[in-house]
Structure 1
Amino acid sequence: MTHPKKDSVRLAPIMFAGTGSDVGKSIISAAFCRIFLQDGYSPAPFKAQNMALNSYATPEGLEIGRAQAVQAEAAGVPCHTDMNPLLLKPTTDKVCQVVLNGRAKGNQEAYEYFKTEGRDELRKAVNQAFDRLNSRYNPIVMEGAGSISEINLRAVDLVNMPMAIHAKANVILVADIDRGGVFASVYGSIMLLTEEERKYVKGILINKFRGDIRLFESGVKMIEELCGIPVIGVVPYYKDIYIEEEDSVMLQTKNLQATYGKVNVAVVLLRHLSNFTDFNVLERDPRVHLYYTNNTDEIEKADIVLVPGTKSTLSDLYELRRNGVAQSIVKAHKKGATVVGICGGYQIMGMEVCDPNHVESSIERLPGLGLLPVSTKMEGEKVTRQVKFAFLDKKDICEGYEIHMGATTFVQGTQASSLNEIEGGLFDGCFVNERCFGTYIHGILDNKPVVDFLLAPYIDKISEETFDYKKFKEEQYNKLADHVRAHVDMDLVYEIMMQVND
């Protein structure tokens, strides 16, 4: 079959919904964003509601889920709030910060958020965001959330089947065969849908298969006979393709010990750690051995200690002081380790963090690590923006983004200087010396001059060449697209997407 061209036909939106959480919807959506781009279309991602601590600033200075920013990158387009109009950022097990169309609307308890009252306003907002996006791109690659069949939440669902029906999208149900029970999860998910909802499910994708796919050919036929819906592909599990993860559930598996022959970089494993994607570049850099830890001995063995962003600075600072990690960071620095803080980590490295108006917590003040001569006061207005900056007065123009609460100022009489000069005459961060500095800028490590500066004191341990992260990411998106394309019936996918749901 010859694939239809973007200028000859408009493809219906496609939604990748799941039998459950962590079945691979985000990665599959990113793969199809890149596939459609490769095939000459102008795709864009969309997820009506996302729950994650990993977020990103759009070019307009608004906030969306990082997963949709990654998918936009795979699609080759700038990210926009219309791609993720509703973002929930957990602050505790029961409370989330609600971000609507890129702006924080305050905190809300989960019980209150999921009540039917007030859903019409949110539903209208996410539907309008989709409509705007759909008028600008072709096709829209939609992502569901969690399970497609949470029947207890059907009346308040904004992101799965109600969104698919509004968008007139063709739904592909994604199932994770690696976790077991794939027949029950697929069949049960479809049977729990209403008769009207079931009409929109046009395909099934089996994800994370291990072994010889030929052994599952009979399983494919059984699923198709049981459900009356075609299986568009069985995608094998992969280990050699690196795409940003949506959440931090796997960080504990990266809790590895320091090793020899490379620069050992320890990321402090905070309870409310956010934007851990700041460190993906180092994780892939062949010169570096990166690991996440809150073990005091492993922190003290590191060449470089990175204090990451956090959704709850005061709470995590309190925990660091309680469990002895704060003292181990200071001790590591005294022994010669480089310590760098990003966003909340920058605040933690200062002399104090104050919250007199209880913006973030009931704690009004805590002493910081005392490594940077700055003081932070929590304020209600959130800063979200993309920035271009000069790092340490160098000529290279670097890029990153800010998402933070609070204002940080130098302590009077300090000898330290700003780390970055932002375009427009603003300054960011604090620089004490090459082994001690902090910044509000997420993504700062994606810039080669910054990483080279960070690793320079340990040059005697490095034998590998420098690392081009942007080129690496492009290679990974293409490898992912090739992997999925090789195991999915794309002719069938295009045939499905030329069907319009009435």
Structure 2
Amino acid sequence: MTQMKLRPLMLAGTGSDVGKSVIAAAFCRIFKQDGYTPAPFKAQNMALNSFATPEGLEIGRAQAVQAEAAGVPCHTDMNPLLLKPVADSVAQVVLHGKAIGNQQAVDYFKADNKARLRVEVNAAFDRLTTRFHPIVMEGAGSISEINLRNLDLVNMPMAMHAGASVILVADIDRGGVFASVYGTIMLLTEEERMHVKGILINKFRGDIRLFESGITMIEELCGIPVVGVVPYYKDIYIEEEDSVMLQTKQREAMHGKVNVAVVLLQHLSNFTDFNALERDPRVHLFYTNNPKELSKADIIILPGSKSTIHDLAVLRNEGLAKAIVTEAKNGKTILGICGGYQMMGESIEDPLGVESNMRRIPGLGLLPIATTMDGDKITRQSKFYFGESKELCEGYEIHNGRSTLTEPDAETINRFENGEPEGCRKGNCQGTYLHGILDNREFTDALIAPWLSEKEQETEFDYKAFKEKQYDKLADHVRKHVNMELVYEMMK
């Protein structure tokens, strides 16, 4: 295809969880396949699931996934503003990859605060346009929250600043698609409506031919073309943006596979750490906060947490801490990642009140480490060697607190490129600060090896190659069901 100058494309929504993030990832891969150099952009993201850029700064994981689909390194300009919930009405504000403090929702939504942030996110978008083309933008929630119109940073005001062509994404699976599409369009101002160039119906089940009259009705009602009807899929695996589905995932152990239980913490973060295990044919992974279900697992993982001290106290109150220690004594493999690693130590101290009013809490006592919260967040991508392996692995760190070994001869599990040791192991228990460590075949193979039969040990799983294949499958799926000629036309 001969390249033409394209406007940015925004995937906006009739509501939350309509599939904007995944559709944006699909367009990132499609434009890459068509010879462009696309990049994702979301002005403001709210998520506990974050990622470290090559510069050691923090952005939402969804934009990191979209950048991966586009084949470019992620950057804070792709998600200049990240909100990480701390409580129901409090969030940590991360601006250009650095935490600038916690804010109450009522303070965050003040007009003068939003005006200052609008300047920042607009400037980030402008910088991005000098390096990539086209920009694939993502909105947040519904674009017709009229009570927040003057404070909106991420939807139609951002689209108008960018001069973007907007495609409205609606989820037909949840029902009410005609009302949600028509109502959304009608609640926009006349100026906003001019930027909406197309409508995309997502998550369709059944025979699309039966919806042809529905397409005509929507186009006649709204005066805007339907660019496609994308069917629901079950055989394409793209990282999810939110952890809301974790509790609905299968919780039963499975015979004939290595059973891995992830402890379902209240403030669980970076749940995408476990996607590789979830797709590994040798493994059955499930999430649980039931002490009895832990006994059915071969491997128990304590994941990262946005509120480590609070979640550790909850583990004790609910009997999970005692169950984890019992299973460790029974010979089960226990792995802690980031906050979970801190929990496995002898103590966590918080003298500055960074996380909690509790100044000290005993850990599970499974590893000879002590952790002190110091308020200086560490965010960086890391290359390391696992054990005695000479294969360079990759991961990233996003954490408050530093852990020190309490036994001078304690065993570590990783070595950074500069030779500095990382993590800790004691018997069948081990922990690390490295998110993404399970994406590395060397580590995962060693983790599950004690629980595999000889025949199963011959099986290998390359998660990076698997992800690339999924992006291509997603692009093919969307390209098949979307009128790309019309999309390109509206982006001229």
What TM-score does the superposition give when structure 2 sets the normalisation length? 0.99
Q: Measure the CA separation in 2 of the matches of 1:190 and 1:264.
A: 48
In structure 1, the partner of 2:429 is 436
Q: Distance in 2 between matches of 1:422 and 1:67?
A: 27
What is the Cα deviation at residue 361 of structure 1?
1.1
Tell me the distance in 2 between the aligned counterparts of 1:423 and 1:456: 25
Query: How much has 1:421 moved relative to structure 2?
Result: 1.1
Q: Which residue of structure 1 aligns with residue 96 of structure 2?
A: 101
Q: 1:398-452 CA distances to partner (integer Å, 9 max, x unpaired)? A: 00000000010111x454222211122332211223x211000000010000001
Using the TM superposition, give the Cα deviation of residue 376 of structure 1 relative to its aligned residue in structure 2, in angstroms: 0.6
Aligned equivalents of 1:114, 1:289: Cα separation in 2 = 43
Distance 2:241 2:420 in 1: 31
AA of the residue aligned to 1:115? K
For 2:372, the equivalent position in structure 1 comes to: 377
CA distance in 2, matches of 1:110, 1:382: 22
Report the counterpart of residue 492 of structure 1 in structure 2: 486
Question: Counterparts in 2 of 1:461-500, with a 5 A limit?
Answer: 463=456, 465-498=459-492
Question: Pick from 186, 189, 214: which aligns with 2:209?
Answer: 214
Provide the C-alpha distance between the structure 1 equivalents of 2:288 and 2:2, rounded to a whole number of angstroms. 50
Give the match for residue 241 of structure 1: 236
Query: What is the distance in 2 between the residues matched to 1:118 and 1:470?
Result: 40
Who is 1:314 aligned against? 309
2:84 matched to which residue of 1?
Answer: 89
Give me the identity figure in percent. 70
Out of 138, 145, 155, the position equivalent to 2:140 is 145
Residue 256 in structure 1 maps to residue 251 in structure 2: yes
Q: Which runs of 5+ in 2 are unaligned?
A: none
Task: Report deviation, 1:119.
Answer: 1.6
CA contact (8 A) 1:393 1:421 kept: no
Q: Which residue of 1 aligns with 2:65?
A: 70
Matches within 5 A, 1:297-446: 297-411=292-406, 413-433=407-427, 435-446=428-439
Residue aligned with 2:295, SS: helix
Given the alignment, which residue of 243, 249, 261 partners 1:266? 261
Whole-Å separation in 1 of the counterparts to 2:420 and 2:190:
57
Partner amino acid, structure 1, of 2:489: E
Deviation at 1:462, TM superposition (A): 6.0
Q: How does 1:443-462 map to 2 (within 5 A)?
A: 443-460=436-453
User: Which residue of the partner structure matches residue 175 of structure 1?
Assistant: 170
In 1, Cα distance between equivalents of 2:484 and 2:80: 29
Encode CA deviations 1:366-408: one digit per residue, 9 max, x unaligned: 1111000101111111000000001113211100000000010
How far, CA to CA, are the matches of 2:173 and 2:250 in structure 1? Answer: 23
Partner Cα separation in structure 2 for residue 325 and residue 408 of structure 1 = 23
1:324 positional shift: 0.3
Q: Using the alignment, how far apart are the partners of 2:313 and 2:442 within structure 1?
A: 33
Q: What amino acid does structure 1 have at the position aligned with 2:20?
A: K
Within 1, Cα distance between the matches of 2:195 and 2:343? 49
The one-letter amino acid of 2:491's match is M
Task: Please report how far the alpha carbon of residue 18 of structure 1 lies from its aligned counterpart in structure 2 after TM superposition.
Answer: 0.1
Match of 1:129 among 116, 121, 124: 124
Report how far residue 255 of structure 1 moved.
4.0
Local SS of the residue matching 2:84:
strand
* Cα shift at 1:461: 7.6
Moved over 3 A (4+): none
Two-structure CA RMSD over aligned residues (Å): 1.0
Taking the aligned partners of 1:253 and 1:426, their CA distance within structure 2 comes to: 40
Aligned-partner SS, 1:246: coil
Q: Distance in 1 between matches of 2:145 and 2:357?
A: 35
CA distance in 1, matches of 2:261, 2:241: 21
Q: 1:121 Cα deviation (Å)? A: 1.4
> Secondary structure of the residue that 2:467 maps to in structure 1?
helix
For the residues of structure 1 that align with 2:134 and 2:227, how far apart are their CA atoms? 18
Which of 222, 227, 230 lines up with 2:222 in the alignment? Answer: 227
CA displacement 1:447-487 (0-9 Å, x = unmatched): 00000110111122863711010110011000000000000
Q: Matched residues in 2 for 1:183 and 1:361: separation?
A: 47
Instruction: Return the offset for 1:268.
Output: 0.3
Find the residue that maps to 1:472 and give its secondary structure. helix
Q: Secondary structure at the match of 1:386?
A: strand
Partner of 1:238: helix, strand, or coil?
coil
Preserved CA contact (<8 Å) 1:32 1:141: yes
Deviation at 1:187, TM superposition (A): 0.5
User: 8 Å contact 1:208–1:236 — kept in the other structure?
Assistant: yes
* SS, match of residue 87 in structure 2: coil
| CA contact 1:377–1:406 (8 Å) conserved in 2 | yes
Match of 2:112 among 95, 117, 135: 117
> What secondary structure, in the 3-state scheme, does the structure 1 residue paired with 2:228 have?
strand
Structure 1 residue identity aligned to 2:198? G
